Copies of this chain bind each other. A is one copy, B any other.
Amino acid sequence: MNGAETVLRTLLNNGVDVCFANPGTSEMQFVAALDDHPAMRGVLCLFEGVATGAADGYARMSGRAAATLLHLGPGLANGLANLHNARRAHAPVVNIVGDHAHSHKRLDSPLESDIDAVAATISSWVRRPATSSDIGRDTAEAVAAALSAGAGSPDRSHTGTSGAISTLIMAADLSWEAGTPPAPHLPPAPLRSVPRADLDAIAAVITGPEPVALLIDGAGLSEPGLQAAARIQKATGTATFCPTWPARIRRGAGVPAIQPLGYRAEAVGQQLAGIENLVLVGAREPVASFAYPGRPGVLTPPGTNVHRFVPDSGFNVVEALNELADIVAPGSLETLPVPDALPDIVDEPLRTENWAQVIGALLPHEAIVVDESITEGMNTLVPATANSAPHDVLGLTGLAIGQGIPVAVGAAIACPERPVVCLQADGSALYTISGLWTQARENLNVTTVLLNNSSYAILRAELDRVGGNQAGPAASALFDLSRPDIDFTAVATGMGVTATRATSTTELAEQFSTALATPGPHLIEAVLKPV
């Protein structure tokens, strides 16, 4: 057994049995060991951003950590943007990053770079085993640290993730030299409970005379969390909100609805107007994604009392919501109304206003919806899917675009029995487009709806908001994805994914139904025209 096998077997001992890999020379022993350890599933990704995004998607759906296998500093750098999103999602991810052998570090050979500095920007835990005898322990600690906020316990897998990023940097000589026995399972720290005094204090706020809103995130957006929130809401009139794009949220017919805060500060200002107490439940205080001249960054209206009831990591949000519900709404059960019928699909050209209604009408039972629709879905997706079959939605947590296709890979591997629907904006699709190939390689049941509006539409809007001039031709060219138009059906086909193009609602409906009924990955390019 060499050191790489010690890592691999320790990962298996600690419940990590999927590795999204884009390896190089320094990771060859790990690769070589896969044949002797078939319990570890190696999934080849053709770009590191696919590997890290897939690990994020896997974690969000399984509650468990996946490993990534990355090659030196540039490999980690290529995966960094989606690790940024994973960090914001509290997704447990264990990066295994190979490094040069100890004797080789001082030579400053071509691929040498400061791996530790890059890793530290997104990792809660970074370590290099110093000797062979450290490898097992360090690997087990890497997993436990990723799960330290309580993710990963099987009985909590339905409640979303509450983890962090660990990065284990393995010098090549430690991988090829004789290893030491793998470490056994190291239990992660359990989720903490909210103290009774805090529950009573918040219950008093909620039942008091002043208008109150709950802002819920994390596992609070699971079905049990939303059920508890609905009990509270019904008994007390408390408003409930969630972030615009949570890491994971349960939605659809029979699931208590919760109102997402708008992406724009103005919208949030209207939503929170008149609220005197904002209670954070596994959530952080809402802030604008960007500063704008003369506009506030904190979105809570001035004078609002902000109660930090349940921190956004490390605490049992569902338990807290249930206990709060038991205090303020004892014994109550929320009976959900029969949902409205989904709208008929009227045949018309696709545009921003209607594509989501098609998806909402046809969304299959227990779908996993990966939402990187950005401007195209910002105001349309939530209403269009409110009465769809129950489903989970995975959002763009860190706003680093290029997450959708990779997260869909990981979600499909975590939940092979569930259909994955990836709603993917065009501009951001190209960052990690080779994830389509991994979908084909692994024959994943992912249907990507590629929303092609031929532009970075959000940037055009942003230019106005930051006080830029009216965009002239030179500025406009930098938002414009035409000249040439991208043919996403050709790109997808080239990567082995069956692809079609829809220009009308009925075409989208037909192609979406066909894709869902046919195993393996599909891409539908939805060509959206401005009204």
Contact = CB atoms under 8 A, between A and B. Distances in A.
B38 A474 contact: yes
B289 A110 contact: yes
A107 interface: yes
A78 B110 contact: no
Contacts of A32: 463, 468-469, 471, 475
A486 interface: yes
Interface stretch (A187-195, A252-260, A323-331, A430-438): A430-438
B297 A473 contact: no
A523 B113 CA distance: 33
Interface stretch (A141-149, A159-167, A349-357, A397-405): A397-405
Interface in A1-55: 21, 23-26, 28-29, 31-32, 34-36, 38, 42, 44, 46-47, 49
B468 A28 contact: yes
A389 interface: no
A472 B35 contact: yes
Contacts of A42: 474, 477-478
A522 interface: no
Given A81-B74, A107-B297, A494-B490, A291 B101 contact: yes
Given A46-B427, A288-B109, A496-B485, A104 B397 contact: no
B117 A462 contact: no
B463 A31 contact: yes
Contacts of A302: none
Contact of A289 (B74, B109, B472, B490): B109
Contacts of A25: 289-290, 459, 462, 465-466
Nearest to A490: B494
A466 B176 contact: yes
A484 to B, nearest CB: 3
A176 B293 contact: yes
A120 interface: yes
A298 interface: yes
A427 B71 CA distance: 14
A466 B291 contact: no
Interface of A: 21, 23-26, 28-29, 31-32, 34-36, 38, 42, 44, 46-47, 49, 73-75, 77-78, 80-81, 84, 88, 100-101, 103-104, 107-111, 113-114, 117-118, 120-122, 172-173, 176, 284, 287-291, 293, 297-298, 397-400, 402, 427, 430-431, 433-434, 437, 440-441, 459, 462-463, 465-469, 471-475, 477-478, 480-481, 483-496
7 contacts: A31-B463, A74-B80, A74-B84, A77-B121, A78-B78, A109-B288, A110-B398
